[in-house]
A and B are shown apart, each in its own frame.
Chain A
């Protein structure tokens, strides 16, 4: 049994800018900004066929989750839930891509579990009914932590220096 502090690892996906931020929220609602991408980090998927779009996004976001877990480990923390929160469906893509990607993550990742949520364009969640789960389960304790910690995490997006910048790999398939 790990003695590390449990936290929800949250990836905020800004679909119109093709970028993401990854941070953590502890059980008591503390927001911990961790990583951010460069602009247009996810843009490569728009050049791909439908199946390849899912594959690329799966790979890129799995890498984000991996880096997030590594950064939490360095802070003596451990992810007990993954939350992918997008500000909408993926743009310039097959309309089904978002659901396919979300279903894929939920089927492949069971420990810790993952939930894919679509939020408002500014990631604001004031009440539980604003949480639109498109894949996975959002348990009440996760909803509570989201409502208390997410605003603090989102607020820090305006402060780029709070996040470690991860630039895209030279090879888009890497």
Chain B
């Protein structure tokens, strides 16, 4: 699955020159939105589809982890990345435990590595969306399969085959439910 410029990245940092620098770095590969605060980020997320959000941890009013908790609730499909210039073990733990982050990265990072990381994040988003779509479609398929198994009277299918078909359909439905809760 290739990542294209149709993927949107939202960068959040209260330092404008960092936003400017990151925009310049990423704009060839992604559609880039920027916000100087958590509140501004949430506003952008309400108005635009964003696949990956990357925020600084230490900002006034709302920290990166606090922002990601809001994003997780309001836009659970967005891939979440927190970065920091501090070596703050407590913030790392909070972020991982409460924000369910894709990555927590520390400054300084190599720009090439960052672009690759964001490509992977965008691909992760696509895979997650595809998995959700697949699970939805499988639900419909299982309904149809069960209905078919219950109503068919064709002599081509003996009772043992139909029972096996019903059983396999039920088993796959349970697997699907298990996978859905893990996404």
In this complex, the member of B13, B88, B107 whose beta carbon has the largest number of chain A beta carbons within 10 angstroms is B107
Chain A residue at smallest Cβ distance from B83: A66
Contact A171 B108, beta carbon cutoff 8 Å: no
Interface check A63, CB cutoff 8 A: yes
Q: How far does the alpha carbon of A73 sit from the alpha carbon of B108 in the complex, in Å? A: 13
Contact B87 A66, beta carbon cutoff 8 Å: no
Q: How far does the alpha carbon of A109 sit from the alpha carbon of B87 in the complex, in Å? A: 11
* 0/1 string, B42-86, CB within 8 A of A gives 1: 000000000000001011100000000000000000000000111
Interface check B175, CB cutoff 8 A: no
Q: Hey, which bits of chain B sit against chain A, CB under 8 A?
A: 13-15, 17-18, 21-22, 24-25, 56, 58-60, 84-88, 106-112
For the complex with contacts A70-B111, A173-B58, A174-B13, 18 further pairs of A-B residues with Cβ separation under 8 Å are A4-B112, A55-B87, A58-B85, A59-B84, A59-B85, A62-B106, A62-B107, A63-B85, A65-B108, A67-B18, A68-B108, A69-B110, A73-B111, A78-B110, A104-B87, A169-B15, A170-B14, A174-B15
Interface CB pairs A-B, < 8 A, 19: A2-B112, A55-B87, A55-B88, A62-B85, A62-B108, A63-B18, A63-B107, A63-B108, A65-B107, A66-B18, A67-B17, A67-B21, A70-B25, A74-B24, A79-B110, A82-B108, A109-B108, A171-B60, A174-B59
Closest 7 pairs (CB-CB, A-B) = A65-B108, A73-B111, A66-B108, A62-B85, A59-B85, A62-B107, A66-B107
Q: Hey, which bits of chain A sit against chain B, CB under 8 A?
A: 2, 4, 55, 58-60, 62-63, 65-70, 73-74, 78-79, 82, 104, 108-109, 166, 169-171, 173-174
